Amino acid sequence: MSEVATHTPTRPRQTRPGRPHPVATRTPDSHSFATRPYDLVKEFVVALAVVALLTAALAAVFSSPDERSITMSGWAQAAPADVVATATSELAGTSVSATYGAPYNTASEGQKVLGIPLQKWGGVRIPVDSAALVLDPLTRAAADAPTKAALAAWRSAPAGTRTAWATAYGDALAKAPDGNPAAVASGSYGPVPVLAQSFLAVARSGGLEGQLAASGNFYGGDQTRTILLLSDGAYLEDTARAQQLGGDQWGMMNETGNYPGQPWMWLYTFWYQVAPFSTSDNADAQVWGLMMVLTLGLMFLPLIPGLRDVPRLVPVHRLIWRDWYREHPPVRRDRPAPKTGDEPGR
């Protein structure tokens, strides 16, 4: 009996309507693509040369100034009369820092916002005695006999007498030609002329560098008193104005080594040039308050009605991303979305 081979027909594989059979894909060989010669070294050398030339040209035109830092000895060498006048005003208590108020002293209420004395409320956090800016360096320095006698006479005199001496000498300096101490008229100035001249000598020798920065701290480096003394004179402001950096000037400097410098402060300093801030005695506090309001507005912009709709009302982003919006046109809301059964291939 012969055997008969039987074969059960295989059921054909069914696919879902509208979907093609899967096709096997193969990664093409890299040699299948067109090629062309390319010199990477040549491109690198050309790019390096172009960037170097552009850097040199832009640096020559827009480079930051490399100004040396102002030092006490440099101040004394460049403007000795200003040093003497500044030392006298510190002893008299008439300098800017002596009459500033908090956080250095209680001489005034300071800046206000809507009548609120914010500066006074802050309190005296960094107490500074203006006379000590002159007397402390002289005491620490190896003073000569006349300076020691002048210091003793100053400390033994009543407070009213000290103020009268320094004020009279300051007025006499203001009347002298070019503020020259040698041309001051005779008067009752007590030990003030000797103290001021000794202070000038210490500054010229470089003895003030680091003297005021100590401020009783173990590590030192506190430049508060140094900057206060320097800013009480006219030399610092004159130097700043020569660089167009005065308070009523628009200049701004990004000095070498102090990245990013002051350019980031342009929005802050802008308001000082605009009324009413430009004519207000409380401009510092008012500008600070305005910047706080603008900062809060930026923080809560997504929650402020009207402002949060600006991007939609002024679609600048569509101009920037015009290629994307051209390829992806927005769907009209008045046209209903297709139903699931009406989708292509279903």
Read off the pLDDT of residues 156-197 as tens digits, 9 standing for 90 and up: 999 999 999 999 999 999 999 988 998 899 889 999 999 999
Mean pLDDT of 223-247: 87
Output the pLDDT for position 51. Answer: 96
Kindly list the domain boundaries of the chain, sorted by start residue.
72-95+130-242
Output the pLDDT for position 343. Answer: 47
- CA–CA gap between residue 195 and residue 153 (Å, rounded): 10
Encoded tokens for 125: 């956090």
The residue whose two tokens read 């059964």 is 341
- Region of poorest pLDDT, from 48-57, 166-175, 258-267: 258-267
DSSP 98: T
120 touches 109 (CB < 8 A): yes
Residue % of the chain over a pLDDT of 90: 35
Output the pLDDT for position 82. Answer: 95
Task: Share the mean pLDDT of the chain.
Answer: 82
**pLDDT-based confidence at residue 92 (cuts at 50, 70, 90):** very high
**What are the Cα distances from residue 127, in Å, to 224, 226, 253, 333?**
11, 14, 31, 68
Buried b (16+ CB within 10 A) or exposed e, 296-331: eeeeeeeeeeeeeeeeeeeeeeeeeeeeeeeeeeee
Most confident of 76-85, 111-120, 207-216: 76-85
Mean pLDDT of 67-80: 89
**pLDDT over threshold 80, residue 13:** no
**pLDDT over threshold 60, residue 40:** yes
Most confident of 149-153, 322-326, 342-346: 149-153
The residue whose two tokens read 């006349």 is 146
Q: 334 versus 325: which is more confidently predicted?
A: 325
